Amino acid sequence: MTIRKGTEALPLFEQYPQLGEKLPHVSLGEFPTPVQKLERLGAQLGIGQLYIKRDDLSGRFYGGNKPRKLEFILGDAIRSGVREVMTFGGAGSNHSLATAIYAQQLGLKSISMLIPQPNARYVRDNLLMSHYCRAELHSCGVESESVRNMALVYLATLYHLIRRRLKSGRFPHLVPPGGSSALGVIGYVNAAFELRQQIANGEMPEPKYIYVACGTMGTAAGLLLGLRAAKLNSRVVSVRVTSDKFVNPRGMAKLTNRTGSLLHSLDGSFPSFRFSAADADIRHTYFGRRYALFTKEAMEAVSLMRKCEGIKLDGTYTGKAVAALIDDAKNGTLRGKSILFWNTLNSRNLPKAVSDLDYRDLPRCFHRYFQEEVQPLDRDADR
């Protein structure tokens, strides 16, 4: 594993070389990710110009939207000389898995504080793969988004932080849920500059709308800021897939502004924008009853995408985003427009060895995901 300094060809750094000199960055992924036309799905939905941004291919070992954020976050961890990172998520969190995979590649130990969630096959895969990458896994809190539960998670975190401090003499580097710190969000500011280059190369016309699943808002906030800075007029349609405590217009404006301020403070030539809640276009009606509970509409989107294009979506995130796109297409609001679906899901296969692992090697609190049935809408879906 070679750790390259971040001044190489990131489109954001090409325009703002000072950012390249100052920002921590390790190269983890393979960029640019392809833009592809979805001919059959577009024809089916009556959208002449429907495209997909293949961030599912963003990393050679594990793709999706997390590698772009982790390039900055883990770059920062390495620069500050820590040996351990600690992060948070649902039991089947793609973010905590991505952190485990790329931390291990960089020789860092990763610790995941995992909150119970509805069961699904991908939860099992992600837990086994995290274990395979030698992540230290802890279960904390209960399956709820209440304030009381957040307090339980904080207490468990505090306990493990102190334990690690006593053991290794240093606190682990904390990575927020979804990697959506201002630093992580810069990965998606850069992604907007990458898209601008692809538009300039004629790979697709400038999209009118970009549909994206929105869980901790990092991807959407980065795109919002990046599109403005890159002088693209595309509108981000953020499809909420977590509680509105975590995804809401004010929070989106705040995260976008914090990221903008960080970039402006590092390089004065990066414009200082001011976003307000009105700049966030958040769709609330595709969430369903709770985080990681699949919906009928999401599973229909998963199945339509597989049938038309052979591309895999999921019931927690991307299926819900495409369900919103399908509804808008049916209402006729997308007719004659150029539309981009930003795929945030990993599509790389996990190593074969992972499916041969015995779940009983995991901490006991995670065995239930292997012993209990998966949720009904996952049971019925074919892989």
Binding positions for ligand PLP, rule: CB under 6 A = 64-65, 94-95, 178, 180, 213-220, 317-318, 344-345
Q: Minimum CB separation from ligand PLP for residue 21, in Å?
A: 26
State the virtual CA torsion across 50, 56, 57, 61 in degrees, nearest 10: -170
Q: Are 332 and 200 in contact (CB under 8 A)?
A: no
The whole-angstrom separation of Cα 302 and Cα 237 is: 19
Among residues 55 and 76, whose Cβ is nearest to ligand PLP?
55
Indicate the residue among 63 and 141 with the shorter CB distance to ligand PLP: 63
CB of 316 to ligand PLP, least distance (A): 7
Cα 187 off chain centre by = 11
Report the C-alpha gap between 153 and 109 in whole angstroms: 20
Closest CA to 234 of 262, 193, 179, 202: 193
Please, what is the minimum distance in Å from the beta carbon of residue 334 to ligand PLP? Answer: 21
Nearer to ligand PLP, 220 or 381 (CB): 220
- Count Cα neighbours of 42 within 13 Å in the Cβ-side half-sphere: 17
d(C-alpha 123, C-alpha 129), whole Å: 10
Least distance from C-beta 269 to ligand PLP, angstroms?
27
Task: State residue 138 phi and psi, 5-degree precision.
Answer: -125, 140
CA distance 55 to 98: 14
> Six-digit token pair at 142?
């209960």
Q: Which C-beta is closer to ligand PLP: that of 345 or that of 354?
A: 345
Nearer to ligand PLP, 45 or 220 (CB): 220
* CB closer to ligand PLP out of 164 and 189: 189
DSSP 311: -
The residue (of 219 and 234) whose beta carbon lies closer to ligand PLP is 219
Q: How far is the CB of 344 from ligand PLP (least distance, A)?
A: 3
- Give CA–CA dist 267/311, Å, rounded: 39
The answer to whether 225 and 260 are in contact (CB under 8 A) is: yes
Pick the closer one to ligand PLP by CB: 27 or 219.
219
- In the complex, least distance from residue 213 CB atom to ligand PLP, rounded to whole angstroms: 4
Alpha carbon distance 299, 376 (integer Å): 11
Q: Report how far residue 292's alpha carbon sits from residue 361's, in angstroms, rounded to the nearest whole number.
A: 25
* Contacts of residue 175, Cβ cutoff 8 Å, sequence gap at least 6: 73, 77, 85, 86, 87, 88, 99, 181, 184
User: Smallest distance from the beta carbon of 117 to ligand PLP, in angstroms?
Assistant: 13
Residue count (the chain) = 383
**Minimum CB separation from ligand PLP for residue 115, in Å?**
14
Of 164 and 236, nearer to ligand PLP (C-beta) is 236
CB of 322 to ligand PLP, least distance (A): 11
To which residue do tokens 């620069």 refer?
Answer: 79
